[in-house]
C-alpha cells in the first residue's frame, strides 16, 4: 500500500514551521497488487503508508490534508445564503433554483457543496478514522506523546465537524468509526439522531481534552473550537426540529419508523436546552469575543461590525486588528491560494460576477437605528429607505448611491463619484437631449451586463473595503469564520430564553446590539424576546451559513425560506429645473428618487415543501446501501 505525496514533501520540515491551515500536499491511499519480480520497486513519487505513520512530518501532513474537507468555508461561488431568505444566486442552472423551487429528489439533488455532500464527508471521515486507528491502536512509529495527542485531537475535532455537517443537512446518518477494506460489507443502517448527537459530543470532548494547553498554528483547530462545535451541536439538538412532538405537529407525513432518524424518542426539551446553555457558557468563559463589554450603544457600530467581518485583517481605514479575537476557528488565506471571493460577489460595474446578491427580504429586515422597524408603508422611510438604518446594514449591503471603491481603477473614468448605480436615471446626452441612463451596476450596464444583480443590491460584508484592492483579479485575505465567539453567545441567549431565564438573555442580547451601535431591547416577555433574538441573530450572522439552518431548526422555513423573492426598482427623475450630463452621480438635489419593492419570480419561483427540512440521500447511495433509509417526502 502506498500514498501519493507531492514532490514538495522534501521541504516539508521547513514548511511545517510556518504552516497555516492547509499545506499544499495531497495524500490519498489505495490498494495495489504487486508481483514479486524485478519490477516490484517503490515508485519515486510515492511513499509507503507505513512510512507515513513512522515519520512525524508525514503524519502531520496526512492530518493536514483532512482539513481540505473544510474547503474554503462559506466562500464558495454558490453560497448557502442563496438557499435562504438572505440572497439570490445570480446565475441560473447551477442547481440552487431546484432547491428553492422544492423540486429536488434522490435523482436530482440540485446544488450540493463539497463541504457537506454525503460522499465527500465520508471520504474525510475515513481519513479521520485512519488517524484514530493508527494512533490509538499504536500502529505508528511516533515517539512524541504530545504530537500524538495533537494529531488525535485534530482528528476527533474534524470527524465531529464532518458528522455535524451531515447531521444538520440529512438528519441521522450511519456512524462509522473504522476504515473499511474492499472485502467488507458496506451496508449499514442509519443510527438514531440521539446517537449521532452523543457521538459528536463525545468526539468534541475528546478533542477538547487532548488539545487543552496546546498552542497550535493559526488555522488549526483548538480546544476552544471543539467546545464551540459542541455548543452548536447541542443548541441544534435542543431545537424544535428535533423535538418529536413539535416536529410531527409541523410535518405530519413522517412515517413512524423514520422519526428516530430525525428527533429524540424520549427526554425533555428543557433538559436539552440546559445542556446547550452549559456548553455555550463554557465557550464564553474561555473565549474573549470583541467589544462585548459596552453598557451603551457604540458610536462606531458600523466599523465594529466591519472589523469583525474582516477578522481584523483588512488594511482599510478604521479596521480594528483586535477584532480577530472574535474568531475561534477560521479558514485563513494566502495570496498563493486566492479564492477571488470579491470577484465572485462584487458589483458587475467593477468587472465582478455579482454571484450571491442580497434580496429585499433581508434588506427590509434591518431596523432603523433607533430600534424601530423599517416599513415601506412609512412615507418618510419609503422616500429615503437607506437612511438611518442599523449600522450593520451599511457594512453588509451595497445599495443604490452607496459609496464604494475607486471605479476608475477597475472600469475607467466613468464614475468619478465611485458610487453603486443600480437604477435607471434621467441624463442629458452631449446634445442636451434627455435619455434613460442605466446604472453601471445594472444588467443594462455599459461595462458588463451579464453579471449584473437582479435584486438591485450587492454584497458587501466579506469584501475587503480596502480601496487599493479594486481589480477583480486581486486577492484579499479575509478569513472565513467557521466559529466565532458571538455564535456561542447567541446559543447561550437562545437556551436562556427557552428556559425562561430572560434577564440573562436580555443582558447578552444588549451587549451584541450595543457593539453594533443599536439600542437596548425593550420587550420583556418570553415570546417577544424570542422574536427579537431570532431577528438579531439573522442580522448579526447574515451570510455566515446560519440562516438556512436556523429557519429549519426553528420550524419556520415556510414563513421565511419559502417566501417569494423581492427586489428593488430604483428610478431617478430630474427635479423641476434640474439636469445632469454624463457622468452620472447620485444627487438628491437634482433627482427625485423612487424606490419600488417588487416581487419577482422569473429567476426563482420559491416555494417551501416540508420534505426540505432534511436533504435527500442520492439514489446511488441508497442503491449501494439498501439499509440506508431515505428521508421522508422523497
The angle that helices 301-309 and 502-515 make with each other, rounded to 10 degrees, is 90
Q: Which residues of 526-539 are buried (b: 16+ CB within 10 A; e: fewer)?
A: eeebbebbbebbbb
Query: What is the DSSP-derived secondary structure letter of residue 137?
Result: T
40 pLDDT tier (thresholds 50, 70, 90): low
**Alpha-helical segments (H) within 171-299:** 193-211, 223-238, 244-250, 259-262, 269-286
Collect all residues with Cβ–Cβ distance below 8 Å to 364 and sequence separation of at least 6: 374, 376, 566, 597
CA distance between the termini of the chain: 40
Q: Tell me if the bond preceding 583 is cis, omega within 30° of 0.
A: yes
18-28 pLDDT tens trace: 334 333 334 33
Return the pLDDT at 29: 37
Q: Is residue 16 packed enough to be buried (19+ CB in 10 Å), middle (13-18) or exposed (0-12)?
A: middle
Residue 131 has pLDDT above 90, yes or no: yes
**Alpha-helical segments (H) within 102-144:** 118-136
What phi, psi does 140 have (nearest 5°)? -160, 165
**What percentage of the chain exceeds 70 in pLDDT?**
92
Residue of 193, 205, 188, 189 lying closest to 168 (CA atoms)? 193
Residue of 312, 286, 295, 235 lying closest to 487 (CA atoms)? 235
Return the pLDDT at 19: 39
Element (H, E) at 343: helix 341-345
Residue 335 has pLDDT above 90, yes or no: no
Return the pLDDT at 473: 66
Strand pairing report for 29-30 and 2-4? antiparallel
What's the average model confidence in pLDDT over 569-574? Answer: 98
Residue of 572, 321, 534, 275 lying closest to 427 (CA atoms)? 572
**CA–CA gap between residue 436 and residue 184 (Å, rounded):** 69
Return the pLDDT at 16: 42
Residue 32 has pLDDT above 50, yes or no: no
Q: Is residue 634 packed enough to be buried (19+ CB in 10 Å), middle (13-18) or exposed (0-12)?
A: middle
Return the pLDDT at 340: 79
| Across 15-19, 397-401, 491-495, least confident range | 15-19
How confident is the prediction for the chain on average, in pLDDT?
92
**CA–CA gap between residue 211 and residue 232 (Å, rounded):** 19
What's the average model confidence in pLDDT over 543-560? Answer: 98
- What are the percentages of helix, strand and coil residues in the chain, rounded to 5? 40, 10, 50
Element (H, E) at 535: helix 526-540
509-522 pLDDT tens trace: 999 999 999 999 99
Three-state DSSP string of 411-424:
HCCCCCCCECCCCE
Do residues 71 and 123 touch, judged by C-beta distance below 8 A? no
Collect all residues with Cβ–Cβ distance below 8 Å to 104 and sequence separation of at least 6: 98, 110, 612, 615, 616
How many angstroms separate the Cα of 449 from the Cα of each of 59, 453, 454? 50, 9, 11
Do residues 325 and 398 touch, judged by C-beta distance below 8 A? no
Do residues 211 and 153 touch, judged by C-beta distance below 8 A? yes
Residue of 619, 597, 545 lying closest to 236 (CA atoms)? 545
What's the average model confidence in pLDDT over 171-193? Answer: 95
CA-based torsion, 10, 11, 14, 17: positive or negative: negative
**CA–CA gap between residue 41 and residue 229 (Å, rounded):** 45
Query: What is the DSSP-derived secondary structure letter of residue 403?
Result: B
**Cell triple for residue 347?**
458589483
Query: Can you say whether residue 105 is alpha, beta or left, with left for phi > 0 and alpha for psi between -120 and 50 degrees?
Result: beta
533-542 pLDDT tens trace: 999 999 999 9
**CA–CA gap between residue 532 and residue 559 (Å, rounded):** 16
Geometric angle at alpha carbon 189, from 158 and 67, rounded to 5°: 15
| Across 335-344, 463-472, 507-516, 548-557, least confident range | 335-344
Do residues 403 and 419 touch, judged by C-beta distance below 8 A? yes
Return the pLDDT at 8: 31
Element (H, E) at 222: none
Residue 150 has pLDDT above 80, yes or no: yes
Q: What is the dihedral of CA 177, 182, 186, 192, to 10 degrees?
A: 10
419-469 pLDDT tens trace: 999 999 999 999 999 999 999 999 999 999 999 999 999 999 999 999 988
pTM of the model: 0.93
Return the pLDDT at 193: 98
Do residues 457 and 399 touch, judged by C-beta distance below 8 A? yes
Return the pLDDT at 22: 37
Q: Is residue 19 packed enough to be buried (19+ CB in 10 Å), middle (13-18) or exposed (0-12)?
A: middle
Return the pLDDT at 472: 65
Collect all residues with Cβ–Cβ distance below 8 Å to 288 and sequence separation of at least 6: 325, 485
Query: What is the DSSP-derived secondary structure letter of residue 278?
Result: H
How many angstroms separate the Cα of 309 from the Cα of each of 319, 326, 478, 555? 10, 10, 8, 28
- In three-state secondary structure terms, 386 is coil
Do residues 404 and 414 touch, judged by C-beta distance below 8 A? no
Element (H, E) at 160: helix 145-170
51 pLDDT tier (thresholds 50, 70, 90): confident
356-391 pLDDT tens trace: 999 999 999 999 999 999 999 999 999 999 999 999
Collect all residues with Cβ–Cβ distance below 8 Å to 250 and sequence separation of at least 6: 240, 555, 610
**CA–CA gap between residue 575 and residue 582 (Å, rounded):** 17
Return the pLDDT at 477: 87
50 pLDDT tier (thresholds 50, 70, 90): confident
**CA–CA gap between residue 170 and residue 168 (Å, rounded):** 6
Amino acid at each position: 500500500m502506498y500514498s501519493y505525496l507531492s514532490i514538495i514533501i522534501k521541504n516539508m520540515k521547513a514548511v511545517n514551521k510556518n504552516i497555516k491551515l492547509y499545506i499544499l500536499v495531497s495524500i490519498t491511499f489505495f490498494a495495489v497488487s504487486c508481483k514479486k519480480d524485478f519490477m516490484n520497486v517503490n515508485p519515486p513519487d510515492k511513499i509507503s503508508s507505513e512510512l507515513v505513520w513512522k515519520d512525524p512530518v508525514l503524519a502531520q501532513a496526512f492530518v493536514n490534508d483532512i482539513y481540505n474537507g473544510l474547503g474554503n468555508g462559506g466562500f464558495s461561488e454558490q453560497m448557502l445564503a442563496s438557499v435562504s431568505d438572505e440572497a439570490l444566486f445570480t446565475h441560473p442552472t447551477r442547481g440552487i433554483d431546484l432547491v428553492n423551487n422544492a423540486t429536488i429528489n434522490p435523482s436530482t439533488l440540485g446544488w450540493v457543496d463539497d463541504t457537506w455532500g454525503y460522499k465527500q464527508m465520508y471520504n474525510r471521515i475515513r481519513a479521520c478514522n485512519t488517524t484514530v486507528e493508527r494512533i490509538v491502536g499504536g500502529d505508528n512509529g511516533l515517539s512524541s506523546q504530545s504530537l500524538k495527542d495533537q494529531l488525535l485531537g485534530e482528528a476527533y475535532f474534524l470527524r465531529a465537524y464532518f458528522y455535524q455537517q451531515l447531521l444538520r443537512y440529512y438528519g441521522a446518518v450511519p456512524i462509522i468509526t473504522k476504515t473499511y477494506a474492499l472485502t467488507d460489507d458496506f451496508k449499514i443502517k442509519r443510527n438514531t439522531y440521539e446517537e449521532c448527537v452523543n457521538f459528536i459530543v463525545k468526539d468534541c470532548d475528546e478533542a477538547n481534552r487532548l488539545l487543552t494547553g496546546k498552542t497550535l498554528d493559526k488555522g488549526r483547530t483548538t480546544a476552544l473550537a471543539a467546545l464551540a462545535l459542541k455548543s452548536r451541536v447541542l443548541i441544534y439538538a435542543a431545537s424544535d426540529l428535533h423535538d418529536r412532538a413539535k416536529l410531527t405537529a409541523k410535518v405530519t407525513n413522517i412515517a413512524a419508523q423514520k422519526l428516530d432518524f430525525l428527533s429524540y424518542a424520549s427526554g425533555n426539551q428543557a433538559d436539552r436546552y440546559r445542556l446547550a446553555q452549559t456548553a455555550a457558557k463554557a465557550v464564553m468563559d474561555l473565549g474573549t469575543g470583541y467589544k462585548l463589554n459596552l453598557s451603551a450603544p457604540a458610536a462606531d457600530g458600523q466599523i465594529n461590525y466591519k472589523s469583525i467581518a474582516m477578522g481584523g485583517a483588512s488594511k482599510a481605514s478604521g479596521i480594528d486588528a483586535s477584532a480577530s479575537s472574535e474568531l475561534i476557528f477560521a479558514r485563513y488565506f494566502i495570496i498563493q491560494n486566492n479564492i477571488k471571493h470579491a470577484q465572485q460577489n462584487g458589483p458587475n460595474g467593477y468587472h465582478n460576477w455579482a454571484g450571491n446578491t442580497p434580496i429585499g427580504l433581508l434588506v427590509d429586515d434591518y431596523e432603523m437605528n433607533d430600534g424601530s422597524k423599517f416599513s415601506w408603508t412609512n412615507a418618510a422611510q419609503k422616500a429615503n429607505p437607506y437612511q438611518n438604518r442599523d449600522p450593520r446594514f451599511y457594512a453588509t449591503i451595497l445599495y443604490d448611491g452607496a459609496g464604494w471603491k475607486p471605479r476608475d481603477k477597475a472600469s475607467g473614468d466613468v464614475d468619478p463619484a465611485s458610487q453603486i448605480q443600480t437604477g435607471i436615471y434621467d441624463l442629458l446626452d452631449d446634445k442636451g437631449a434627455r435619455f434613460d441612463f442605466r446604472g453601471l451596476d445594472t444588467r443594462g450596464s455599459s461595462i458588463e451586463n451579464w453579471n449584473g444583480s437582479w435584486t438591485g443590491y450587492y454584497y458587501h460584508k466579506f469584501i475587503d473595503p480596502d480601496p487599493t484592492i479594486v481589480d477583480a483579479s486581486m486577492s484579499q485575505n479575509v478569513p472565513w469564520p467557521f466559529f466565532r465567539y458571538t455564535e456561542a453567545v447567541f446559543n447561550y441567549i437562545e437556551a436562556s430564553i427557552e428556559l425562561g431565564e430572560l434577564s440573562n438573555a436580555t443582558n447578552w442580547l444588549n451587549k451584541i446590539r450595543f457593539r453594533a451601535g443599536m439600542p437596548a431591547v425593550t420587550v420583556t416577555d418570553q415570546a417577544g424576546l424570542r422574536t427579537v433574538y431570532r431577528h438579531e441573530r439573522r442580522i448579526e450572522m447574515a451570510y455566515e451559513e446560519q440562516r438556512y439552518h436556523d429557519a429549519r431548526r426553528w420550524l419556520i422555513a415556510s414563513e421565511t425560506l419559502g417566501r417569494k423573492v423581492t427586489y428593488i426598482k430604483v428610478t431617478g427623475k430630474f427635479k423641476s429645473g434640474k439636469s445632469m450630463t454624463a457622468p452620472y452621480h447620485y444627487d438628491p438635489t437634482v433627482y427625485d428618487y423612487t424606490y419600488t419593492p417588487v416581487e419577482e419570480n422569473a429567476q426563482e419561483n420559491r416555494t417551501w415543501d416540508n420534505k426540505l427540512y432534511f436533504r435527500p440521500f442520492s439514489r446511488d447511495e441508497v442503491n449501494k446501501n439498501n439499509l440506508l433509509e431515505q428521508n421522508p417526502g422523497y
